[in-house]
Amino acid sequence: MLIVKTQLLEALRATLEDLQPGAGAKAAFESPKVAAHGDLATTAAMQLAKPLKQNPRQLAESLCQLLRTTLPYQTWVESLEIAGPGFINVKLKPAAKQQVVRSVLLQGERFGSQADNGKAMLVEFVSANPTGPLHVGHGRQAALGDAICNLFGSQGWRVYREFYYNDAGVQIGTLATSTQLRTQGFKPGDACWPTDPDNPLSKNFYNGEYIADIAADFLAKKTVTSDDRAFTASGDTADLDSIRQFAVAYLRHEQDLDLSAFAVRFDNYYLESSLYTSGRVEATVKRLVEAGKTYEQDGALWLKSTDYGDDKDRVMRKQDGSYTYFVPDVAYHISKWERGFQKVINIQGTDHHGTIARVRAGLQAADVGIPQGFPDYVLHTMVRVVRGGQEVKISKRAGSYVTLRDLIEWTSKDAVRFFLLSRKPDTEYTFDVDLAVAKNNDNPVYYVQYAHARICSVLASWGGAVTSLEQVDLSPLQSPQALALMLLLAKYPDMLTAAADDFAPHDVTFYLRELAACYHSYYDAERILVEDDTIKLARLALVAATAQVLRNGLAVLGVSAPEKM
């Protein structure tokens, strides 16, 4: 089908070029809004009508007559029909739709993927400070980031995954102090435990039981190792720096366990502190000052961010000499650019919306060759968790929120990934724990995985090798259900491309649910293991191709495709 579509598109392009030089660029197909109208549609006649000074429907008729004379349209097209003001609907022959089955079986897990484009990109996601367990919001970000990486990997990009975190700021200081109090035998509620609501440091103290676990291991002088650091505790309750380093390493290790359970990996961990120790922050500020993009006012240093579309200028260096949080962000993104990543995507919570304009303004003002609109952002909302019909707001372990590990333990890695990817990132989402463990068709991940397992059961009953189906006669695949299933299989590559372009892994979940439904309808309509070998092998080839596309799509989401359920 992909070859068929390419041939038809090339014939359309050449025909349009003959009608008007340069018009070939308007050659494109879309899916008709009503399936009964055809398999492909083009608006080329309506687009050319005005420059050619012709009635769109008359031009569409002329275009159809010309297309019918071309070999691809004679070979693959059953009919061309004109609708409305000049739409041309294309109905394909069954043989055209059958081609996708062979393509899927021959390409296997590569079906839908593009060749290496030679370009590298960086996706930064999760980026949680090591001050506590990963919460459900981090889980949504992890699922989004990993799926977006997989989507762009399918489109030929060499994707680099990065985790950025602050290992030395105010929050880390609060973590160290909270842990120190625990090592000294104190706990939340004790007289010495800060409770002043007017003191920002006090109300941000970490009260979860995980702090007691860190303190106990520190006193035991344990060594902890994470993906990016290792540290051995001194056991000295007065050694605040040792406590800080141990707590950071401990929580980074905990985060690694969470991410491993979620099957998420990173290529690099980038420390915010390194931007200062390496001199990158100072160098960035110096560059902006020398470029004339800053000014002094009220004892502070300001960036002229309104010159780049921001709603107001932003403070870079406060009166006390410290930098506002977007300054290291600018330095960090200059680092990304200088490392050769011309495409960068940041996955962050919606609370970061206000930083986009000022970071981009700083990058433009730095004048280091970074294009406008760099980097791209995908912002996501938080997640509500419902269990037993009631909202779950806290975790015994974290003390104030539901952790990612809680959610995985209550359900499964597959359910958490699929559910968190099943809506647009910026829409509110309620995770229903009871639905996620239900073994019925109301559970979307179960529904999709069951379709795959059902096919595997059929193939196992047959007992042959799937590779033997690659060249079978597909002509028996003529029923409406078979044709609908093949047409949907053929849409997979374009769906992947569009999902990557739109940063929309939820499109993959929608597609897989539709494909599973289409397969179940086909299974209910036609028996596969019939006596006639020609019919049986054709139907086996179709369902084997369907299983392959289900596996490919689930792999993009990081979800398994079980053979038995």
Q: What is the DSSP string of 370-387?
A: PPTT-SEEEEE--EEEEE
- Residues 266-290, mean pLDDT to the nearest whole number: 96
Contacts for 286 with CB less than 8 Å, ≥ 6 apart = none
| pLDDT in the model for residue 283 | 97
- Residues 162-172, mean pLDDT to the nearest whole number: 90
Average confidence score pLDDT of the chain: 94
Q: pLDDT of 507-530, one tens digit each? A: 999 999 999 999 999 999 999 999
Q: Is residue 203 over pLDDT 60?
A: no
| pLDDT in the model for residue 516 | 98
Whether 4 and 92 have beta carbons less than 8 Å apart is answered as: yes
Q: Is residue 263 over pLDDT 60?
A: yes
Q: Is residue 399 over pLDDT 80?
A: no
| pLDDT in the model for residue 199 | 52
Reported confidence tier of residue 178, pLDDT bands at 50, 70, 90: very high
Q: What is the pTM of this model?
A: 0.91
Q: Is residue 202 over pLDDT 50?
A: no
Q: pLDDT of 420-439, one tens digit each? A: 999 999 999 999 999 999 99
- Residues 105-114, mean pLDDT to the nearest whole number: 96
Token look-up 């008359």 returns 58
No. of helices (H) and no. of strands (E), the chain: 22, 16
Q: What single-letter amino acid sits at 159?
A: V
User: Beta strand 87-92 with 223-225: parallel, antiparallel or unpaired?
Assistant: unpaired
Q: Is residue 253 over pLDDT 60?
A: yes
| pLDDT in the model for residue 31 | 86
Q: Is residue 201 over pLDDT 50?
A: no
Q: What single-letter amino acid sits at 346?
A: N
| pLDDT in the model for residue 396 | 62
Q: CB 450: neighbour CB atoms within 10 A? A: 18
Reported confidence tier of residue 398, pLDDT bands at 50, 70, 90: low
Contacts for 190 with CB less than 8 Å, ≥ 6 apart = none
Reported confidence tier of residue 411, pLDDT bands at 50, 70, 90: very high
Q: At what angle do helices 280-290 and 353-366 cross, to 10 degrees?
A: 70
- Residues 33-48, mean pLDDT to the nearest whole number: 89
| pLDDT in the model for residue 35 | 78
In order of start, what are the domains of the chain with their CATH numbers?
Answer: 2-92 (3.30.1360.70), 278-380 (3.40.50.620), 441-557 (1.10.730.10)
d(CA 100, CA 92): 13
Q: Is residue 374 over pLDDT 50?
A: yes
Q: Is residue 135 over pLDDT 50?
A: yes
| pLDDT in the model for residue 397 | 64
Token look-up 């073994």 returns 439
Whether 434 and 387 have beta carbons less than 8 Å apart is answered as: yes
